[in-house]
Amino acid sequence: MEESQLKKRVICDVILFCLVFLLPWWVSLILGLIFALSFENYYELLFLGIFIDSLYTTPLAFYHHFQFVISLFCAIVLLILVPLRKQLRF
């Protein structure tokens, strides 16, 4: 990975994790999905999901008292995007 690409990625990560505190969780999640499409192997999306779940979610009976719904969604998105991104051109 190039140094300039790494700097962009770190700056985007810092911005993304700061926005979790400033904006609604769904805005941060959408921005994380955009970054996952922009950067190769953007595993920070999974950490973002865990972070959002730790801050905002509570176990609900609807999800059988499973608290980490957003983390599961992010993991599924990553499992789909990592192989699919090789075929997409950005």
The range of the structural domain enclosing residue 70 comes to 3-85
Element (DSSP H or E) covering residue 9: helix 3-22
The percent of residues above 90 in pLDDT, for the chain, comes to 50
Tokens of 51: 């972070």
The predicted-structure confidence for 38-67, as pLDDT tens digits, reads as follows 888 889 999 999 999 888 877 777 767 778
Is the pLDDT reported for residue 29 higher than 80?
Answer: yes
Which of the 8 DSSP states describes residue 64? T
90 assigned to some structural domain:
no
Element (DSSP H or E) covering residue 44: helix 44-56
Rounded Cα gap, residues 43 and 61, in angstroms = 29
Which pLDDT score is estimated for 1?
Answer: 67
65 assigned to some structural domain:
yes
Mean pLDDT, the chain, whole residue set: 87
81 assigned to some structural domain:
yes
